[in-house]
């Protein structure tokens, strides 16, 4: 159902728009709130982490004006959502926040893309991967910018466009998942899988070191992207999506499907499986590790869209913790693929989170001429526990969600304030265990 209280928040925000965004209204209770982050211009919520003391560090993107280059926005708030500090990080051209991880030493690692030219179109832009290591006070402790080349071994050749998706902590460092593409980007064979490995000191493990392959050894044609790489013993599971035009495994069609492929200790090919429907395009967006209390495994959530783009939905499934790379092995699926029945051609994003007893899923749901943020809780068998929507007059977009230790729910998103043509702001929303802005 629609949460009517949000419209009151929008009205208060409109009255106080000239004030600091973060302090635009007083939260009704410290156990639930809707807070906006960002200054002048448009901001987009991307991700967050929660510290052991309940404080929150969130990341997003900020553009002060239409003519300004985008910067990475990082802010810290207390458990009540009150801002402690906020900072922008940016270079000469566009920068984009993609992921955040809390390191074992308490510091923060932010993943982003950084542009090397002023082209903002997808054909000619050329980006590198950016890692920012920050302290809890927002101070920059270290950073690295790393790009690849058109050479398969990334030693010689022309610079390529890297689009990062996520960063995962492994035993001796980190793995950045994403895609790599030639510049300018060709009309076919547009992008390929990418998994860049870094040591704990942020040193890149180069392909010519013999210790890691940044790209899979199996050939792919079409458009593909790795969303996340997770370690499993000495091997790794890479999960993404592809529309490979020359498959040797089913499905043989060239529509988009989820793909899971295995990597050995130095990223050698261990096999792959495709997951999807031949009559629609499935693109993976989020991977969550399922707690051992629920039997372990991985929750995969993404979008599915009919080939004529008339219908869109969330596509989710749960994989076993031990994946067999056999296309027809049903033991891989602890929850078969299912959709939420949204019927929304405007589904943009989705994110999944595994709790101790259920799954939390966020996405967008159409409401008249605009998108609202959707939050739904599902039992491990996929049955619906609750479904709530949050939104105003303009388009609103979902982001990651997390269940807190006390059972409350915290999620980030992007909300349009001031009507359809208003500014977008980062929205941090804390809800009760039933997904409502209430005690």
Interval 313-352: pLDDT, tens: 999 999 999 999 998 899 999 999 999 988 776 777 899 9
Does residue 58 contact residue 72 with C-beta atoms inside 8 Å?
A: no
Q: Which residue has the higher pLDDT, 228 or 247?
A: 228
Query: Taking residues 278-301, what's their average pLDDT?
Result: 93
DSSP code of residue 80: T
> Residue 245: its pLDDT value, please?
55
Query: Taking residues 174-194, what's their average pLDDT?
Result: 90
Please report which confidence band the pLDDT of residue 253 belongs to, taking 50, 70 and 90 as the band edges. Answer: low
Q: Is the pLDDT of residue 43 over 70?
A: yes
406 Ramachandran zone, left/alpha/beta (phi>0; psi -120 to 50): alpha
Q: How far apart are CA 54 and CA 41, in angstroms?
A: 29
Three-state DSSP state, 21: helix
Please report which confidence band the pLDDT of residue 299 belongs to, taking 50, 70 and 90 as the band edges. Answer: very high
> Residue 294: its pLDDT value, please?
85
Does residue 98 contact residue 113 with C-beta atoms inside 8 Å?
A: yes
Q: Give, in order, the Cα–Cα distances in Å from 381 to each of 39, 323, 338, 377.
A: 42, 19, 10, 11
| Contact residues for 233 (Cβ-Cβ < 8 A; gap 6+) | none
Q: How many C-beta atoms surround the C-beta of residue 30 within 10 A?
A: 12
Please report which confidence band the pLDDT of residue 6 belongs to, taking 50, 70 and 90 as the band edges. Answer: very low
> Residue 28: its pLDDT value, please?
57
> Residue 356: its pLDDT value, please?
82
Residue with tokens 């809780």: 377
> Residue 85: its pLDDT value, please?
98
Q: Is the pLDDT of residue 88 over 80?
A: yes
Q: Which of 47-51, 291-295, 331-335, 412-416 has the lowest mean pLDDT?
A: 291-295
Most confident of 187-196, 358-367, 414-423: 358-367
- Residues paired with residue 148 on neighbouring β-strands, in sequence order: none
Q: Which of 179-183, 246-250, 275-279, 414-418 has the lowest mean pLDDT?
A: 246-250
- Residues paired with residue 36 on neighbouring β-strands, in sequence order: 427
The CA-based angle 343-360-138, given to 5 degrees, is 115
Q: Is the pLDDT of residue 95 over 90?
A: yes
The residues spanned by each domain of the chain are 88-391
Residues in the chain: 439
> Residue 24: its pLDDT value, please?
39
Please report which confidence band the pLDDT of residue 29 belongs to, taking 50, 70 and 90 as the band edges. Answer: low
Q: Is the pLDDT of residue 426 over 90?
A: yes
Q: Which residue has the higher pLDDT, 318 or 31?
A: 318
Query: Taking residues 15-27, what's their average pLDDT?
Result: 39
Query: Taking residues 277-300, what's their average pLDDT?
Result: 92
- Long-range CB pairs of 88-94, under 8 A, 24+ apart, other chains included: 88/62, 89/132, 89/140, 91/115, 93/69, 93/117, 93/118, 94/69, 94/70, 94/120, 94/125, 94/127
Q: Tell me which H or E stretch contains 414.
A: strand 409-417
Q: Is the pLDDT of residue 13 over 90?
A: no
Q: How far apart are CA 351 and CA 361, in angstroms?
A: 6
| Contact residues for 183 (Cβ-Cβ < 8 A; gap 6+) | 124, 125, 126, 158, 159, 160, 161
Q: What are phi and psi of 294, to 5 degrees?
A: -100, 5
Q: Which residue has the higher pLDDT, 62 or 276?
A: 62
Q: What integer best gives the mean pLDDT of the chain?
A: 89
Three-state DSSP state, 60: strand
Q: How far apart are CA 103 and CA 49, in angstroms?
A: 10
pTM: 0.91
Sheet harboring 269-275: ordered strands across? 224-232, 235-242, 257-263, 269-275
Query: Taking residues 72-101, what's their average pLDDT?
Result: 97
Shortest CA distance to 366 belongs to which of 343, 400, 385, 384?
Answer: 343
Query: Taking residues 272-280, what's their average pLDDT?
Result: 89
Please report which confidence band the pLDDT of residue 247 belongs to, taking 50, 70 and 90 as the band edges. Answer: low
Please report which confidence band the pLDDT of residue 25 belongs to, taking 50, 70 and 90 as the band edges. Answer: very low
Beta 161-170 vs 409-417: how paired, if at all? unpaired
- Residues paired with residue 33 on neighbouring β-strands, in sequence order: 430
Q: Is the pLDDT of residue 250 over 70?
A: no
> Residue 14: its pLDDT value, please?
36
Query: Taking residues 190-212, what's their average pLDDT?
Result: 95
Q: Is the pLDDT of residue 206 over 50?
A: yes
Shortest CA distance to 424 belongs to which of 396, 399, 400?
Answer: 396
Shortest CA distance to 437 belongs to which of 56, 34, 13, 24?
Answer: 34
Q: Which of 69-78, 87-96, 216-225, 239-248 has the lowest mean pLDDT?
A: 239-248
88-391: what fold? Answer: Neuraminidase (2.120.10)
Instruction: Give me the DSSP letters along 141-165.
Output: EEEEEE--BSSTTSSSS-B-EEEEE
What is the Cα 176 distance to its own chain's centre? 12
Shortest CA distance to 370 belongs to which of 408, 417, 406, 326?
Answer: 417
Q: Is the pLDDT of residue 72 over 90?
A: yes
| Contact residues for 164 (Cβ-Cβ < 8 A; gap 6+) | 98, 99, 111, 112, 113, 129, 130, 176, 177, 178
Query: Taking residues 370-393, what's their average pLDDT?
Result: 93
């Amino acid at each position: 159902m629609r949460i009517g209280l949000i419209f009151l928040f929008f009205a208060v925000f409109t009255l106080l728009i000239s004030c600091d965004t973060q302090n635009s209204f007083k939260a009704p209770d410290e156990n639930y709130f809707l807070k906006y982050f960002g200054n002048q211009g448009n901001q987009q919520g991307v991700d967050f982490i929660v510290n052991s003391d309940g404080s929150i560090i969130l990341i997003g993107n900020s553009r002060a004006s239409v003519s300004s280059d985008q910067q990475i926005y990082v802010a810290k708030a207390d458990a009540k959502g009150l801002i402690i500090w906020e900072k922008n990080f940016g270079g000469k051209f566009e920068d984009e926040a993609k992921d955040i991880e809390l390191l074992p030493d308490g510091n923060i690692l932010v993943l982003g893309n950084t542009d090397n030219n002023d082209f903002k179109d997808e054909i000619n832009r050329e980006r590198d991967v950016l890692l920012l290591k920050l302290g809890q006070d927002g101070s920059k402790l270290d950073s690295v910018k790393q790009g690849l080349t058109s050479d398969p071994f990334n030693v010689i050749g022309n610079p390529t466009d890297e689009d990062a998706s996520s960063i995962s902590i492994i035993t001796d460092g980190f793995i950045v998942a994403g895609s790599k593409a030639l510049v300018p980007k060709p009309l076919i064979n547009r992008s390929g899988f990418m998994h860049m490995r870094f040591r704990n000191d942020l040193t890149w493990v180069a392909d010519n070191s013999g210790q890691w392959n940044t790209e899979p050894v199996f050939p792919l044609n079409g458009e593909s992207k790795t969303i996340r790489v997770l370690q499993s013993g000495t091997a790794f599971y890479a999960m993404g999506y592809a529309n490979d035009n020359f498959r040797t495994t089913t499905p043989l069609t060239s529509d988009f499907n989820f793909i899971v492929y295995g990597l050995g200790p130095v990223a050698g090919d261990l096999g792959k499986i495709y997951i999807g429907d031949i009559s629609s395009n499935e693109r993976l967006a989020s991977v969550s590790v399922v707690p051992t209390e629920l039997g372990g495994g991985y929750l995969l959530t993404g979008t599915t869209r009919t080939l004529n783009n008339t219908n869109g939905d969330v596509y989710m499934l749960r994989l076993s913790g031990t994946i067999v790379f056999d296309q027809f092995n049903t033991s891989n699926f602890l929850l078969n693929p299912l959709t939420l029945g949204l019927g929304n051609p405007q589904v943009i994003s989705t994110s999944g989170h595994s709790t101790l007893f259920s799954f939390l899923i966020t996405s967008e749901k159409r409401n008249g001429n605009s998108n609202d943020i959707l939050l739904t809780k599902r039992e491990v068998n996929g049955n619906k526990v609750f479904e709530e929507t949050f939104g105003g007059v303009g388009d609103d977009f979902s982001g990651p969600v997390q269940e807190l230790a006390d059972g409350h729910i915290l999620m980030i998103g992007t909300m349009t304030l001031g009507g359809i043509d208003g500014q977008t702001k980062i929205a941090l929303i804390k809800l009760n265990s039933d997904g409502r802005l209430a005690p």
